[in-house]
Structure 1
Amino acid sequence: MQSPDEFDSALVDSSGCEKSTRVQLLQRFYDPIDGSVEIDDIRVNQYNLSWLREHIGVVSQEPILFQ
């Protein structure tokens, strides 16, 4: 997946299409077995983990409300 720098990106697809897996790979919850995941041609394992998780957001189908 590629996205122009000046735009925010959204990953939208039907249920069961690996969206959660892709986001988890981007946020380094686990590393790919084969291939690589890159942002701006830099592998995500070279980014600071805190920075990645601060800059990649997730909006779930199920709303979560805090009091």
Structure 2
Amino acid sequence: MATAAIQTRIGSATPIWDKNRAWRVGEHCSLWVNGGVDVYACIVAHVSSTATQPRPGSPYWQFIGRR
């Protein structure tokens, strides 16, 4: 199965993850974690729910970096 190339450059206006939003492959989201911001890239198109929150090992998100 071919995978799409994910943009790894973190933008200065990365949206915060939120429930009930449609995420497309390649879109980035951010989460506040311990005083910093973790940035993830969507790897499977989906509508977000508590079950699809970005986290290490998520089937929907790939960790990109921390700001």
Instruction: Flag the structure with higher helix content.
Output: 1
Please state which structure has a larger fraction of its residues in strand: 2
TM-score, with structure 2 as normaliser: 0.32
Normalising by the residue count of structure 1, what TM-score does the alignment of the two structures yield?
A: 0.32
Q: Which has the larger radius of gyration?
A: 1
